[in-house]
């Protein structure tokens, strides 16, 4: 097989109920010159058999990665992939038929493009509707991502494409040493911000980031996530992730305590302010709760200064 134009990578961990549909959405892409790599990140369910049942397809490859961690798995996929453009799809997402074509075209037309991703819609389970306490902002924790119907050049790290619908230029990823394995989900630890950290580096170095609405992906909403406990846990780990990001920049100390305390107070105030509005009330409560995770991590770092090591796989 000659070198493909784009490598589609699915990193999966015990998600056999959704994985087959994710792979099949890649096997039916309009774009022809690509490869598919499925990185099995230590799964113990039917993941391997689901992949092996499709291995007769010439585009598909199976990779075993025993070290648990999404960023580890992403780096393993990148190091094995052959193409210059790497496109990451979550194991519980479904890519539109034009997904790879739209992404590939964007990179061909812009040599300064480092990162690109598209709109993400949510696939709700049958007979399950969004609860009244779920705001649009909190829905982004389920993967929703919509910046409109026109392409946008992103200059703000917080607007970076979602990891479930995410592509990156290999040369840039190698330049920064890969995804930082201190960030990103590790088993049941809902760490995040790995894409945000990469986007910050890209913007600092003069690269461009694009939102491409036609590179559409649909993301399945797992029923077990539609409860307030999951969102509170997600908020807690978001606070920890933000603290880790600041740690990578060398920001550890009293300033973090002041910042976290101010944000905790602001979140608590807005929770009371919107007491009669379920969605706004809960959104601010999750935000405030996340600041407790942020502060607890900051205090731990002050008392027990960590050795800052960037674990790289590329």
pLDDT of residue 193: 87
Strand partners, 194: none
Q: How far are the Cα atoms of 16, 110, 206, 209 from residue 155, in angstroms, in the given order?
A: 36, 16, 10, 7
pLDDT of residue 51: 97
Residues 36 and 115: beta-carbon distance below 8 Å: no
Q: Is the pLDDT of residue 170 over 70?
A: yes
Q: How far are the Cα atoms of 145, 153, 281 from residue 278, in angstroms, in the given order?
A: 22, 34, 5
Q: Is the pLDDT of residue 310 over 60?
A: no
Phi, psi values for residue 242, rounded to 5°: -65, -40
Q: What mean pLDDT do residues 170-198 have?
A: 91
Q: Is the pLDDT of residue 309 over 70?
A: no
CA 261 and chain centroid, separation:
27
Over residues 57-79, the pLDDT tens digits come to 999 999 999 999 999 999 999 99
- In angstroms and rounded to an integer, the radius of gyration of the C-alpha atoms of the chain is 19
pLDDT of residue 90: 97
CA distance linking residue 240 with residue 154, whole number of Å: 25
Over residues 75-109, the pLDDT tens digits come to 999 999 999 999 999 999 999 999 999 999 999 99
* Among 81, 71, 11, 6, CA closest to 40: 11
- Return the top range by mean pLDDT from 123-132, 254-263, 281-290: 281-290
Q: Is the pLDDT of residue 306 over 70?
A: no
Q: Is the pLDDT of residue 312 over 60?
A: no
* Among 169, 249, 172, 166, CA closest to 205: 172
Query: How would residue 146 be classed by pLDDT, with cut points 50, 70 and 90?
Result: very high
Please report, rounded to a whole number, the percentage of residues in the chain having pLDDT higher than 90: 83
Over residues 208-232, the pLDDT tens digits come to 999 999 999 999 999 999 999 999 9
pLDDT of residue 246: 85
pTM of this structure = 0.92
Q: Is the pLDDT of residue 308 over 60?
A: no
Q: Is the pLDDT of residue 152 over 70?
A: yes
pLDDT of residue 305: 77
Q: How far are the Cα atoms of 74, 77, 100, 163, 176 from residue 314, in angstroms, in the given order?
A: 10, 10, 24, 18, 9
**Complete DSSP assignment for 112-138:** TEEEEE--EEEEPPTT----TT--HHH
CA within 13 Å, CB half, 116: 30
Q: What mean pLDDT do residues 134-139 have?
A: 94
CA distance linking residue 143 with residue 138, whole number of Å: 9
Which pair of tokens denotes residue 150?
């026109």
pLDDT mean across residues, the chain: 93
């Amino acid at each position: 097989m000659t070198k493909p134009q784009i490598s589609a990578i699915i990193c999966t961990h015990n998600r056999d109920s959704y994985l087959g549909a994710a792979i099949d959405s890649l096997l039916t892409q309009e774009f022809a010159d690509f490869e598919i790599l499925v990185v099995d990140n230590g799964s113990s369910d039917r993941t391997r058999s689901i992949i092996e049942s499709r291995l007769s397809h010439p585009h598909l490859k199976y990779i075993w990665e025993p070290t648990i961690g999404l960023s580890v798995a992403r780096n393993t996929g990148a190091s094995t992939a052959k193409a210059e453009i790497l496109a990451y799809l979550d194991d519980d997402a479904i890519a539109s038929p034009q997904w790879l074509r739209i992404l590939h075209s964007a990179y061909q037309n812009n040599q300064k493009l480092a990162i690109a991703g598209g709109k993400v819609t949510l696939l709700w389970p049958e007979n399950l509707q969004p609860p009244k306490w779920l705001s649009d902002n909190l829905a982004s924790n389920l993967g929703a991502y919509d910046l409109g119907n026109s392409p946008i050049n992103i200059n703000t790290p917080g607007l970076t494409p979602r990891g479930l619908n995410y592509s990156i230029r290999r040369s840039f990823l190698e330049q920064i040493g890969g995804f930082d394995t201190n960030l990103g989900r590790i088993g049941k630890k809902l760490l995040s911000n790995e894409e945000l950290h990469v986007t910050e580096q890209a913007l600092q170095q003069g690269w461009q980031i694009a939102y491409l609405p036609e590179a559409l992906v649909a993301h399945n909403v797992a029923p077990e996530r539609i409860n307030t406990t999951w969102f509170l846990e997600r908020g807690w780990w978001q606070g920890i992730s933000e603290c880790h990001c600041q740690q990578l920049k060398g920001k550890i100390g009293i300033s973090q305590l002041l910042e976290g305390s101010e944000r905790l107070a602001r979140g608590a105030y807005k929770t009371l302010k919107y007491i009669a509005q379920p969605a706004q009330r809960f959104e601010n409560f999750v935000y405030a709760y996340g600041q407790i995770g942020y502060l607890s991590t900051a205090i731990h770092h002050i008392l027990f200064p960590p050795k800052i090591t960037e674990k790289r796989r590329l």
